[in-house]
Amino acid sequence: MNIKAEVIVEGPSMIRSTLKVIDKPVSFLGMVDPKTGILKAEDNAVEITGVILSFPYMIGSTVAPYIIYSLKRNKRAPVAMISSSVDALLASGCAISDIPLLTVSQNDFELLKKYRERTIKVNAKSGEILIDEQ
The C-alpha atoms of residue 8 and residue 102 are separated, in whole angstroms, by 5
Task: Give me the catalytic one of 17, 27, 61, 97.
Answer: 61
Q: Domains in the chain, start-ordered, CATH in brackets?
A: 2-130 (3.50.30.10)
Distances (CA, A) of 98 to 13, 15, 72, 101: 14, 13, 8, 9
Q: Regarding beta strands 101-103 and 6-9, do their DSSP bridges make them parallel or antiparallel, or are they unpaired? A: antiparallel
SS3 121: strand
SS3 25: coil
Which pLDDT value is given to residue 44?
A: 86
- Model pTM score: 0.95
Which pLDDT value is given to residue 134?
A: 64
Span 69-73, average pLDDT: 98
Highest mean pLDDT among 37-46, 115-124, 125-134: 115-124
The C-alpha atoms of residue 93 and residue 107 are separated, in whole angstroms, by 25
**Is it the case that residue 29 has pLDDT exceeding 80?**
yes
Distances (CA, A) of 2 to 28, 37, 42, 112: 29, 28, 28, 11
pLDDT in tens, 95-113: 999 999 999 999 999 999 9
Asked about 61 being catalytic, the answer comes back as: yes
